[in-house]
Amino acid sequence: MLSFILKRIGLLIPTFIGITIVAFGFVRVLPGDPVLLMAGERGLTDERYNMLLKQFGYDRPIWQQYFDYLGGILSGDFGHSLVTKKPVLTEFFALFPATVELALCAIIFAIAVGIPAGIVAATRRGSFLDQTIMGTALVGYSMPIFWWGLLLIIVFSGWLGWTPVSGRISLLYFFEPVTGFMLIDSLLSGQKGAFISAASHLILPSIVLATIPLAVIARQTRSAMLEVLGEDYVRTAKAKGLSPRRVVGVHALRNAMIPVITVIGLMVGTLLAGAILTETIFSWPGIGKWMVDSITRRDYPVVQSGLLLIAAVVMIVNLLVDMTYGLINPRIRHD
């Protein structure tokens, strides 16, 4: 197992170096002078320009600049935002929990609905119910989620007035973040109604972000179940006289879950891409909205480091998924 983990980590190193090259190269290939772009100042005097040139190290050979950059990253220096002047890493960690909270709620919702839907569809293959579930899943899979979010706002916030339009919590409540997770912090604050407010702000964004993962999970569960239900051991279990519930729930489901878990694990990238749109629509203060705002504001140090940090998060989560997968399915480990 240890060698398996080490091998996986070893494979990540070249990818990580590649990602740093992409992030480093990003500022250099932008049209315009990198000093002006990264300083974000206008009408510089020659003196100031030369000072900044030295400060950023752009007067040095390109490979040396890269190693300076890499050294900075490894010591935790990801640059400063042009707009807020705060370190990028500080901003990232302040906003990251909001995205994690949203993504976790979305994936829990997607699993809680998607897996049972897939099982029902598989066990009643060809029935009207199966066709309805799979039809709905295909619609969900084809959904432009930014539009879906707007529709839900029109119906649930506009017409019915059930849910708030945007943000993480009502402005009536204020407390210092402890964990960064609004659901937990609102409970810890002890303020009446704060938790309900936080939860009601989470509902629509979670549904929107969960839409595509839910569809993928339902489809994957159905096809994995169908494959497993045709296996000999399932027939044996049936022949033994076990109840259908036990055959499906224990014998079939456990084996069908392996591909489903892989698909869920690979969804981190999808969730983060979806978070860009979902957070923008619902003004959710997470890293997706942060990246979009930074791109439109030309806050290039944030874009550069944000890109790197997000890719690193995706890589680390994929590694963790790989390792859990190795734990669940011993066949992979010994390859």
**Residues at the site binding another protein, with contacts judged by CB under 8 A:** 14-15, 18-19, 22, 26, 29-31, 135, 138-139, 141-144, 146-148, 150-151, 153-154, 157-158, 269-270, 272-273, 276-277, 280, 291-292, 295-296, 303, 307, 310-311, 314-315
Shortest Å, Cβ 232 to another protein: 15
Shortest Å, Cβ 213 to another protein: 13
Vertex 215 angle, CA 198 and 228, to 5° = 125
* Of 121 and 198, CB closest to another protein: 121
* Of 177 and 265, CB closest to another protein: 265
Shortest Å, Cβ 269 to another protein: 5
* Of 198 and 303, CB closest to another protein: 303
* Of 148 and 284, CB closest to another protein: 148
Three-class HEC string of 210-246: HHHHHHHHHHHHHHHHHHHHCCHHHHHHHHCCCCHHH
Count Cβ atoms within 10 A of the Cβ of residue 37 and give its class: 0-12 exposed, 13-18 middle, 19 or more buried. middle
Q: Kindly report the backbone phi and psi dihedral angles of residue 163, in degrees, each rounded to the nearest multiple of 5, phi listed first.
A: -125, 155
Shortest Å, Cβ 216 to another protein: 12
Shortest Å, Cβ 186 to another protein: 27
Listed in sequence order, the residues at least 6 apart from 291 whose beta carbon sits closer than 8 Å to its beta carbon are: 276, 302, 303, 306, 307, 310
Distance CA 127, CA 121 (A): 8
8 Å CB contact between 163 and 292: no
8 Å CB contact between 261 and 328: yes
Q: What are the structure tokens assigned to 208, written together? A: 């929107």
Shortest Å, Cβ 159 to another protein: 9
* Of 260 and 313, CB closest to another protein: 313
* Of 138 and 327, CB closest to another protein: 138
Residue 53: HSE in the Cβ half-sphere, 13 Å Cα cutoff: 11
